[in-house]
Chains A and B, each alone.
Chain A
């Protein structure tokens, strides 16, 4: 192997830049966590509304999920970052800016709320109506029935699906550099331009993502396993 080639492949380059890269990863992690939390709000509202009796609300909810699920995340990000501030500026009549981090959280949060709403809805529907009837028969209110009887069962049932969605959400955070968030991909591309050695950097990023996701899913699996051992699920 020629010295030039060896230098090109040298994995220690990734280590040299660990501080900046870690900073980038923290951006990804925080965008991931914030958008995951943000996504649950519309997802829960949509799922509950779709169980309800008010038809127009159901239509709006369906429209919302379809819009979220069928718009590419990249388009949503760009729209939230560039178009939404313009719209808001027009409405409030003064200049409004959204910082890239916030735009990324909103864009990804909205995108994934559609998937989450669908999963949640399917989970709620999968619980046998007899479960709610037994609660009604002892005089439990519909809201409490949802919270105490239906939701706990539905959540455990959809957990594997939810984990898959969280994994994709985390993977999706790699596109936030497109709206100038200084995440790990942003850092990697900057450093590889400066160093002219993209191989160790991009490979390192791939491995790092993979390791983080595997660790996180293992954690969730441990949790589901514990529930299974309790004799149900």
Chain B
């Protein structure tokens, strides 16, 4: 598949260490546009760190990250500039486990903040665009509420709208449903599925094996900072070649 299309994400030999623990030990991967890739693995396997390195929320120790023609390298040549990183971030939308909505702004304010402050869009135009994305996550009626008045599921959907409003090329989901009750998880997963159907490229770090299995095109299993298994969901879930992956999946589904 990757032979035919230019990948939208290409990560080459990504390493990340904290003091003397190496969290990522050389990750290389190419991801095709419009694909949905789930990243699974035990806690501590490095999956969140991997995602956070892509937009430099964590600074990689070394490696190259290229997203839709914008690339940043660490370890060879000059360190990437702030502009370089900003351009990379413009390609990526991110959704966090803890939502991280800004509590002092209304729902619409959260969604339009990046448009007015980063993209310098006129207020009226930004509000229109913001409302468009809020209606995509079915929360247009909450536009004037403050986040504290919303349920966890609603807050996470606002966070998704906030990321989408910046019109990124790729969406990163960092355990987006892990802090939600099961009944609220469903509404967030529905939004994510709809987004996948719209053809958004998505990288999803998740514990939701159901989502990984039936909503993604590709599943990556991370272990000890390395990609241990990489393939179509059926292959990874039904016939993984790595024993560790087999164990992880049988315990996760167990």
Contacts and interface: CB of A to CB of B under 8 A. Distances in A.
B103 A148 contact: no
A204 B126 CA distance: 57
B98 A130 contact: yes
Contacts of A148: 113, 117
B163 A156 contact: no
A144 B114 CA distance: 11
Interface residues of B, number: 29
Interface stretch (A49-57, A132-140, A212-220): A132-140
B124 interface: no
A150 to B, nearest CB: 10
B55 interface: yes
A153 interface: yes
Interface in B75-90: 82, 86, 89-90
Contacts of A131: 100, 102
Nearest to A134: B100
Given A139-B89, A144-B117, A230 B146 contact: yes
Contacts of A141: 82, 86
Contacts of A232: 103-104, 146-148
Specify which of B96, B101, B117 lies most central, judged by the most chain A CB atoms within 10 Å of its CB. Answer: B117
B218 interface: no
Contacts of B118: 138-140, 144
A136 B94 CA distance: 10
A178 interface: no
A11 interface: no
B14 interface: no
Nearest to B103: A232
Contacts of B100: 128, 130-131, 133-134
Contacts of A29: none
Contacts of B166: 138-139
A136 B89 contact: yes
Contacts of B147: 232
A149 interface: yes
Nearest to B56: A136
A138 B146 contact: no
A139 B102 contact: no
B128 interface: no
A231 interface: yes
A103 to B, nearest CB: 39
A140 B166 CA distance: 11
A160 interface: no
B117 A137 contact: no
Interface in B101-118: 101-104, 113-114, 117-118
A137 B93 contact: yes
Interface in A67-117: none
Contacts of B82: 141
Nearest to A155: B104
B145 to A, nearest CB: 7
Given A156-B104, A232-B104, A137 B146 contact: no
A134 B92 CA distance: 12
A223 to B, nearest CB: 14
A138 B89 contact: yes
B89 A137 contact: yes
Interface in A132-187: 133-141, 144, 148-149, 152-153, 156
A71 to B, nearest CB: 36
Nearest to B159: A134
Given A133-B57, A144-B117, A148-B117, A138 B163 contact: yes
A128 B98 CA distance: 10
B149 interface: yes
B110 to A, nearest CB: 9
Nearest to B145: A231
B131 interface: no
Nearest to A144: B117
Interface in B35-59: 55, 57
Interface of B: 55, 57, 82, 86, 89-90, 92-94, 96, 98, 100-104, 113-114, 117-118, 145-149, 159, 162-163, 166
11 contacts: A131-B100, A134-B96, A134-B101, A138-B89, A138-B118, A139-B86, A148-B117, A230-B146, A232-B103, A232-B104, A232-B148
Interface of A: 128, 130-131, 133-141, 144, 148-149, 152-153, 156, 230-232
Top-8 shortest CB links A-B: A138-B114, A134-B100, A130-B100, A137-B94, A231-B146, A139-B89, A232-B148, A232-B103
